[in-house]
A and B are shown apart, each in its own frame.
Chain A
């Protein structure tokens, strides 16, 4: 059985990713573009100061996308690779980048869906190889070492209440 895989993204990869997302946001006129993991964790977003609850958004979008994949299985479809929610004021578009990564865009009704799909598919071609390099099987690239474990253990002891107060 394989060792559990993690994901480690370094500065250089993140600069490339943010560059792609910034361009994608501009050409699609999206209000918000984000990358999240399929396990529901946010990775990065553009603009960085967007007024969005990214933690909740990532958890819900990843859950929704995972459910969509299962729907495909039930319907004997090989896969549904994207998810689209149409709202009165804004739309949400979620598409798979790699097995572990999803791309999420929100955009207003003034933006054509076809335009979003076209530029998103181009962005995927650039993003996929970056994340293939980011997959980690080494145990956190040495970042999570004994020293970190001990410091985190102390922080956990100090942080959470020890008794019912």
Chain B
């Protein structure tokens, strides 16, 4: 849910990066944290295991500045990708405005991608609020390595909503900001009355 504080002239949106384990969700957030203007970002908070796998979530607040008199913020979260952390994923999805589904493009990760995608929709539907009001972007990550699916094949598998698709390599930053910009614009458009 977008949270609008008229007294403070402030609006906050929540965006969640979703996907299977090791697909690059945290890498996206870390790249954004490194490259965005330090004045526009808050602290990157990570709740991770000793092996640096996400245990609960990563969190990065970003400020867009003041738009039409409203201070506009985006709060970026990741979910833990490993299948047994579903309870945590459901919690992180609470009140979400936009989702970036990060797909691992490798053919060997087909089952994990599909499981995660189905799990995303199961969890969204269980929130009892209409997911068609969410901004959704499909990021195809790891496009720089061999043994990967074509864009058309991954789109067929993981994009039943016809959402925007962005090819990326989160490690080097290719497509990372394009993804972020696309989902930010989507959540604002979806929350707009007109």
Contact = CB atoms under 8 A, between A and B. Distances in A.
Nearest to B95: A39
B157 interface: no
Contacts of B92: 63
Contact of B7 (A9, A53, A138, A143): A9
B130 A155 contact: no
A164 B174 CA distance: 7
Contacts of B35: 161, 165
Contacts of A139: 191-193
A164 B173 contact: yes
B193 A145 contact: yes
Interface string B61-74: 10011011010100
Nearest to A135: B1
Contact of A6 (B4, B8, B57, B96): B4
A41 B94 CA distance: 11
Given A3-B133, A39-B14, A160-B180, A8 B194 contact: no
Size category of the B interface is 35 or more
Interface in A1-22: 1-11, 13-15
Contacts of A55: 42-43, 61, 75
Contacts of A66: 91, 94
A38 B68 contact: no
A143 B6 contact: yes
B184 interface: yes
A39 B94 contact: yes
A3 B12 CA distance: 18
A100 B1 contact: yes
Interface stretch (A104-112, A113-121, A146-154): A146-154
Given A145-B192, A145-B194, A67 B3 contact: no
Interface in B154-194: 172-174, 177-178, 180-181, 184-185, 188-189, 191-194
Contacts of A100: 1, 95
B10 to A, nearest CB: 9
Given A6-B191, A39-B96, A70-B87, A141 B4 contact: yes
Contact of B3 (A4, A6, A53, A147): A6
Given A152-B67, A152-B72, 19 more contacts: A1-B129, A4-B1, A7-B4, A14-B6, A37-B3, A37-B95, A39-B14, A39-B96, A43-B3, A55-B61, A56-B43, A140-B4, A140-B191, A145-B194, A146-B192, A149-B188, A149-B189, A160-B36, A160-B181
Interface of A: 1-11, 13-15, 37-41, 43-44, 53, 55-56, 59-60, 63, 66-67, 70, 100, 136, 138-149, 151-153, 155-157, 159-162, 164-165
